Chains A and B, each alone.
Chain A
């Protein structure tokens, strides 16, 4: 299957700082990537759909000014958590759709964000 690389895998930061998470498709081009957030013992919640060359589409309730998404190339999407607070502590996972056109998602390894 397609390989999606995500880093860093773990971030610990102070409240008020910004954190950038990178998601790369390694062996294929991804015009669309998805960013999910997962709290402990809960399911994946879609935050936004990242579209190459255009603005991201955010899900209801997700603050676009707080979670900045940039998809500047066909292989890279970034999520920046601005002015992070303890309640932003979560597991953030990016994914890309199967390049052959199915709805299958391939996930990055995830980023565990801890805001002190």
Chain B
């Protein structure tokens, strides 16, 4: 059974700190991973996508993928109060596949 597990959270960090969000998955067939950010009452927006092992950086965001250990992480450097939201990881098994979403982790950045 395909499963995506996320840190249940919530996670609270002070402004300026590094927030680390983790996601593990059970299906080794997975090929692509995504991190979405969702503000309360809004729909998700794509932050990062990662397809190969290692790190991928985009501004203050770094996605890390380790297929051997079956986890994907999102690091947010210099966290800002505006980063306070629910973060969803999602994964797919290839072209035209459906995405499966994790439960989400709520991040709160304290001013």
Contacts and interface: CB of A to CB of B under 8 A. Distances in A.
Nearest to B6: A43
Given A43-B88, A43-B104, A44-B88, A105 B43 contact: no
A34 B98 CA distance: 9
Interface residues on B, range: 20 to 34
A103 B97 contact: yes
Interface in B6-51: 32, 34, 41-46, 49
A23 to B, nearest CB: 11
Contacts of A49: 98
A91 B45 CA distance: 15
A6 B95 CA distance: 25
Contact of A105 (B46, B94, B104): B46
A107 B95 contact: no
Contacts, number: 53
Contacts of B92: 103
Interface stretch (A11-19, A65-73, A82-90, A108-116): A108-116
Nearest to A109: B43
27 contacts: A1-B46, A6-B43, A43-B88, A43-B102, A44-B88, A44-B101, A46-B99, A97-B96, A102-B32, A103-B34, A103-B94, A103-B95, A103-B96, A103-B97, A103-B99, A104-B46, A104-B49, A105-B46, A105-B90, A105-B99, A106-B46, A108-B43, A109-B42, A109-B43, A110-B41, A110-B42, A110-B43
Interface of A: 1, 6, 32, 34, 42-46, 49, 91, 93, 97, 101-110, 112
